[in-house]
Structure 1
């Protein structure tokens, strides 16, 4: 008697729909937010009770459960081996196919599944908007801003060299190397030739480009 009452309760359209909602939401949110398995456990429990009800009623078999299990495996594989959605689609087909196959009335099961999906979509969309900063997609987004105030620069900041004097250690034709305050700096002239050993002064810095002229000469 207990088994019959339990089966009747679990297979009731309202109960079965609620179990499907819990199952879909639990697994979907686990895949989206990685809740250490808690949501997945709730989802599996929801689907498990759904299948248990129809199994006790004599409608669901191990084949239906196997199809459902394959669907879960495919959904998990989509996270590990991205397939541009192919595994997700196949997984969803198997998952929902198992749900329909386990029911005594596929049309009624399809209606319950449709209602459960609509409710689940609303809840999932709300969860994504509320907890968007915790979603799995954040693992693929670079959120750190590479700004100067955080110590990041696209190139060395050489503006401090402006106006300083140094010595050309290679001929500047017009590019070459100069020693400025004991540091070897790649420099360039505005087209003029400066031989090695001559004194130079930095007249302009543009990013990593350091422009020099010979000391005491006019900039052309």
Structure 2
């Protein structure tokens, strides 16, 4: 008698739809937010109770359960082995297929699935907006701002070299190497040729581009 009442309760369209909503939302939010399995457990419980009701009523078979289980396994595997959504899609197909197969009326099951999906979509969207900083997508977004104030620079800051004098180590035609304050620096002239061992002065720094002039030329100008 108890099992009959339980079966009647679980297979009632309203109850069955609620169980599907719980199942879909639980699995979907687990895939999106990785809640250490808690949401996945709620989702599995929802689908499990749905199947149990129709199994006790004599409509669902172990074959239906197998299809449902395969879908759940594929969705769980997506949590462990990212497949760019392939496992999720296959899992969802098996899951929904199992739901349809287990029902006494596939048409009614389709209606319940549509309603459950619409409700689940609304809840999932609300959850994404509410917890947008905790979603799986944040694993692929660089959160840390790479700013100079935090010690990050795209290129070494060599602006301190402006006005310093040194000596051309190699001929500058117009690029080459100079020794400035004991440091070897890649430099370039504004187009003028400067022989090796000539005195130079840094007149401009643009990123990694260090522009120099020969000291004698600068004084003459």
Q: TM-score range by the shorter chain?
A: over 0.9
CA distance in 2, matches of 1:93, 1:40: 17
State the Cα distance separating 1:106 from its structure 2 match: 1.4
State the Cα distance separating 1:172 from its structure 2 match: 1.6
CA distance in 2, matches of 1:69, 1:146: 46
CA distance in 2, matches of 1:217, 1:156: 28
CA distance in 2, matches of 1:187, 1:25: 61
2:103 is aligned with 1:108: no
2:180 is aligned with 1:180: yes
CA distance in 1, matches of 2:20, 2:144: 39
Question: Could you say which residue in structure 2 is the equivalent of 1:53?
Answer: 53
What SS does the aligned partner of 1:134 have?
A: coil
State the Cα distance separating 1:189 from its structure 2 match: 1.4
CA distance in 1, matches of 2:38, 2:165: 67
Give 5+ residue unaligned stretches, structure 2: none
What SS does the aligned partner of 2:213 have?
A: strand
Question: Could you say which residue in structure 1 is the equivalent of 2:129?
Answer: 129
State the Cα distance separating 1:77 from its structure 2 match: 4.3
CA distance in 2, matches of 1:6, 1:76: 28
Question: Could you say which residue in structure 1 is the equivalent of 2:66?
Answer: 66
CA distance in 1, matches of 2:200, 2:112: 83
Question: For each residue in 1:36-63, what CA deviation from the matched residue of structure 2 results, as whole angstroms up to 9, or x when unmatched?
Answer: 0000001101111111111111111110
State the Cα distance separating 1:89 from its structure 2 match: 3.0
TM-score calculated relative to the size of structure 2: 0.93
Question: Could you say which residue in structure 2 is the equivalent of 1:199?
Answer: 199
Question: Could you say which residue in structure 2 is the equivalent of 1:138?
Answer: 138
2:118 is aligned with 1:82: no
